[in-house]
Amino acid sequence: MIEIDPQDLADRYMAQWTEPDAAERRAAVERLWAADGTHVLQPPVEIRESAAGLGFRHPTLEAQGHDAIEIRVASSYERFVAKQGITFRARPDAMRLQGLVRFGWEAVSAESGEVVGGGSEILVLDDEGRIRTDYMFPGT
C-alpha cells in the first residue's frame, strides 16, 4: 500500500462535499475513490425507525461506483451547502492503521461559524490509497 497522510486524505475527502463546481466534484470523486468504491451511510434516526417498522433491523444506505457517489455528494452539496449554508471540515484527529483511516468531521454554519453537527468516518483503502469502502456515521 502506498504511503498517505491520513489528515490530508481526511481534508480532501471533506472538501469534495463542499465543492461548488460540478466538474471539480466529479474529479475529486475520481481521485479519491476506487472505481467500484462504496459509500455506506448509517441512516438518520427517522429512517432507521421507519425501516424497523418494516422489519429491517440494521438498515444502511449505500452508493457504489463513481456515478452513484457523485450523485450522493452532489445531493449533499445542494441540500446542506447550497441551501442551508453549511460547510464541512475534518477534525484534526485522522489516524491510519494499515488499510484503514478513521477521522471525525464537523458540520459548520458558514454564517456564524458555529458547529451544528458532525460525525465520523472509517475509510477502507485499496492498494493505491483510494477509498474502497466508506462507513459514515453522522451524529457521532
Q: Where are the domains of the chain?
A: 6-138
Nearest to 33 by CA among 48, 21, 16, 57: 16
Which grid coordinates are listed for 37?
A: 468504491
User: Is the pLDDT at 54 greater than 90, yes or no?
Assistant: no
pLDDT at 49: 74
Q: Is the pTM of this model over 0.85?
A: yes
Per-residue pLDDT, averaged over 13-19, amounts to: 97
Inform me whether the pLDDT recorded for 99 exceeds 80. yes
Checking if the pLDDT of 44 tops 90, the result is no
Mean pLDDT value across residues 80-84: 96
Q: Which of 43, 45, 38, 15 is nearest to 27 (CA)?
A: 15
Architecture of domain 6-138: Roll (3.10)
